[in-house]
Amino acid sequence: MTEILGLHPRLVVEGADAALAFYTAAFGAEVLERYTGADGRVVHSLVTAGPARFAVKDAGDGDPAPSGGGIPVIMSLDVSDADAVAERMLAAGATVIFELADHGYGDYGGRLADPFGHQWMLSQRIEQLDAGQVQSRLDAMHEA
């Protein structure tokens, strides 16, 4: 059986840097990771507050911020074998939002929707990179 390595919510917001400042002030949170796209918007950040861990990103790329009562949260599931988990999810009725692929920044994975409308980002670490390497690779991807 594939090992589940972690699970954390990804909060989609308009103004990720303001949200990070809020979570730092309100929860005593620490921003562990923060990466930006070519436009300077946050594509991923990882935050800890006590034992809690969650990600924050700017809206975009198909991820809307909450509006009209909606509460977009993407469950980010860290696994040892993303293909095996995706196969089981599809067999159980999930649909593919983003195909599984090597993303070039150290992770292999994709996004699926469960039959109840929740989105699950599967992530399998395939390469250990430091923060500078991740940001450099994201920058190169946006230049291409």
pLDDT digits (tens, 9 = 90+) for 69-120: 666 688 888 999 999 999 999 999 999 999 999 988 889 999 998 887 778 8
What's the one-letter identity of residue 70? G
- Count Cβ atoms below 10 Å from residue 119 Cβ, excluding itself: 19
Q: Who's near 75: CB < 8 A, 6+ residues apart?
A: 7, 8, 9, 10, 118, 119, 120, 121
Residues above pLDDT 70, as percent of the chain:
97
CA separation, residue 24 to residues 44, 59, 87, 120, 141 (Å) = 16, 20, 38, 26, 30
- The answer to whether residues 47 and 92 touch, using CB atoms and an 8 Å cutoff, is no
